[in-house]
Structure 1
Amino acid sequence: MGPLSYFCFMPKQPHSLLNLRRKLQQSLLQSQTQSEATAMSMRILEHLGYPSARVLSEPGEAVGPETRAQINEIVSEIHRGRPLQYVLGSCIFDELHLLVDERVLIPRPETEEMLYQMVDFVKKPPQRIVDLGTGSGCLALALKKRFPFAEVWGIDLSDGALNLARENAGRNDLAVQWKRADILHAKAIEQLPDDIDLLVSNPPYVCESEKKRMERKVLEYEPALALFVEDHDPLRYYRAIARMAKRKLKPGGMVWVEINERFGKETASLFDDKSFSHSGLLKDIHEKDRFVYAKRCRP
C-alpha cells in the first residue's frame, strides 16, 4: 500500500487556508524534500484559486471539503510518482500558462534561461523565428509574446505535441504556424521557410546510458522520443540543425540550441566554420555547459 495523503484523515469541518497549507506541506514531505514540498504546496494552492497573496492576506479563510478532496487526489498522484505539472495539467513558462501532459516534455528552467539569454543577444527584433522540436510550444509562444510582429513557426514530429501546442497558442491568444516535420529527415529542410532571423531548438540530447541517473518520474512519464539519443551518435540532431542553419538563416541570423553538458565543445564545433561569423558556448546558472549560439555570416 502506497503512502496516503494526510487529507484522507481530515475531519469534515472547514479548515483555515493557512492550516490547510501547513497540512499540505506535511503530506508532501512523505515523498519530497522540504524545498520541493514548499514550492509544490504553493503551486497546488495557486492552481486551486488560492495564490500566496491570498493565503497571507486571508489566513483564516475557511476551505471546504470539495477543495480538500481535490488536494487529496493531487497529493495521492504525486506520491505515486507522477510529476506535479502533469497532475495539474499545466505549468508556467515565462509567465505563460501552458497545458502539459504526457505528450510533451515539461519545460525546464534551463530552457527558460536560454530564452532570456537569446533575447538579451537580439539587437533587432527578428521578423521570422523557427522553433525546432517545439513540444508544448513553450519557446515558440514565449518568443511570439516578446516579438509580436514576428512570423513564428513551431516544428515537431509528434502530432500529439503539435495539437497541444495549438491549444496553448489559443489559450494565450498567440498566433504561431505549426508544422509536422522530422528534422532528421533530409527533406525536412525544404519544409522550413527561408530567411530565418532566429532558429532555436531544445532537441533530444540525453544519452541512453544516462537513464540510470535519472529520476523515475521522468523515465516513467515523460516522452522518451523528446529526451533520448543513442550513445553512439549523441550529436545527430545538432548536425541536422547546423545544416538547416547554414541553408535557412538569413545573413546575420542566429541559431540557439540547448545542449548536453557532456558535449559542449563538440556541439559548439559544429557551428564553428566559415558559414558563421562567430559562435559561443554558454553555461547555465549551475555553471554547466548548456547553450550554443552562432551567427550566420553576412556576405
Structure 2
Amino acid sequence: MASLGDDLLVHSGFPTNDRDAVFFGPDSYRFVNFVKREVPSLSNVRSIVDMGAGNGAGGIAVARLLDGARITLVDVNAVALAMAATNAAAAGVDANLLEADCIPDNVDLVMANPPYIVDDKRRQYRHGGEMFGGAVALGWVRQALEKLSPAGVMLLYTGVAFVDGRSPLLAEIAQECRAARADVTLTELDPDVFGRS
C-alpha cells in the first residue's frame, strides 16, 4: 500500500517483476501532481478517461477536482483494474472500469501516463515499445486525436528519449497534431531522469 494525500492505495509489492505488476512509485506521484496542476484551467469537462490507469491514482485525483464529471479508468491489465476498483471505492469515487487498449468515443479529457521504457521482459507497466519506448504514447496520442470531443484535451505525462539531440516521439506527436489541427504544449519536468554516460 502507498499513501497519496489522504488516500491509501493498493498496488503490487516490490520488486515488481511480474508481467502484470501494478507499479506505483515516483512517476505516479509526478503524474498525479501534473494532472492536478493542469486540470483547474480546463472547462466544460463532463467525461474523463484515465488511459493506462494502473491502480487509478490519477483518475481518482482528477475525479475529485471535476465534481460531476464521469470518470473511466482504462487498462489492459485486469489486475490493475481490480486494484483501481478497490482504490476508487475506498476513496468514494464512482468510476467506470474498462479492460481495453482503446479510448472510448467523444471524451472531454484524456489523461495518460504510458509506459516509456524499453523493457526486455515486456512487462505491461514498463514497456513502451518501439521508438525508444515511445510507441505506446504515440498510439494513445493518435487515439485521443480521433476520440476527443471538439474542445477536448489530452494530458500526457511520459518519458521522452533523445537521440543525437532529437526526440523521435516528440517529432511524431508534433506531426500528428499538425495534421489534426490540434495545439500541442510541451513542459519539461525532470530532464535526464535515466541518463547514462
SS in 2 for 1:162: helix
SS in 2 for 1:254: strand
Deviations 1:236-271 (A, max 9, x none): 212321222122101111011112132463354254
Q: Which residue of 2 aligns with 1:204?
A: 115
Q: Which runs of 5+ in 1 are unaligned?
A: 1-89, 210-218, 290-299
- Whether 1:105 aligns to 2:23 is yes
Match of 2:125 among 226, 236, 258: 226
Q: How far, CA to CA, are the matches of 1:238 and 1:110 in structure 2?
A: 17
Aligned pairs, how many? 178
Q: Which residue of 2 aligns with 1:133?
A: 52
Q: How far, CA to CA, are the matches of 2:97 and 2:159 in structure 1?
A: 26
- Whether 1:159 aligns to 2:78 is yes
Amino acid across the alignment from 1:235: G
Amino acid across the alignment from 2:145: K
Q: 1:269 to 1:277 in 2, by over 3 A?
A: closer
> Conserved in 1, the CA contact under 8 Å of 2:36 and 2:62?
no
Q: Which residue of 1 aligns with 2:170?
A: 265
Q: How far, CA to CA, are the matches of 2:37 and 2:173 in structure 1?
A: 16
Amino acid across the alignment from 1:138: A
| TM-score, length of structure 1 as denominator length | 0.54
Q: Which residue of 2 aligns with 1:279?
A: 184
- The answer to which structure has the higher helix fraction is 1
- 1:151: Cα distance to partner? 0.5
- 1:134: Cα distance to partner? 0.5
> Conserved in 2, the CA contact under 8 Å of 1:268 and 1:280?
no
Match of 1:119 among 39, 51, 70: 39
Larger Rg: 1
Alignment of 1:1-299 (within 5 A): 90-102=1-13, 103-107=21-25, 108=27, 109-122=29-42, 124-181=43-100, 183=101, 188-189=102-103, 192=104, 194-208=105-119, 224-231=123-130, 234-262=133-161, 263=167, 265-266=170-171, 268-284=173-189, 286-287=190-191
Deviations 1:124-156 (A, max 9, x none): 151000011100001111111111200000001
- 1:95: Cα distance to partner? 3.8
Q: 1:279 to 1:149 in 2, by over 3 A?
A: same
Q: How far, CA to CA, are the matches of 2:58 and 2:176 in structure 1?
A: 21
Segments ≥4 residues shifted beyond 6 Å = none
Q: 1:174 to 1:205 in 2, by over 3 A?
A: same
- 1:100: Cα distance to partner? 1.8
Amino acid across the alignment from 1:144: A
Q: Which residue of 1 aligns with 2:17?
A: none
> Conserved in 2, the CA contact under 8 Å of 1:127 and 1:149?
yes
SS in 2 for 1:130: strand
Q: 1:239 to 1:247 in 2, by over 3 A?
A: same
Cα RMSD of the aligned pairs, angstroms, is: 2.5
> Conserved in 2, the CA contact under 8 Å of 1:169 and 1:175?
yes
SS in 1 for 2:88: helix
Q: 1:113 to 1:241 in 2, by over 3 A?
A: same
> Conserved in 2, the CA contact under 8 Å of 1:94 and 1:112?
no
Q: 1:237 to 1:129 in 2, by over 3 A?
A: same
> Conserved in 2, the CA contact under 8 Å of 1:94 and 1:142?
no
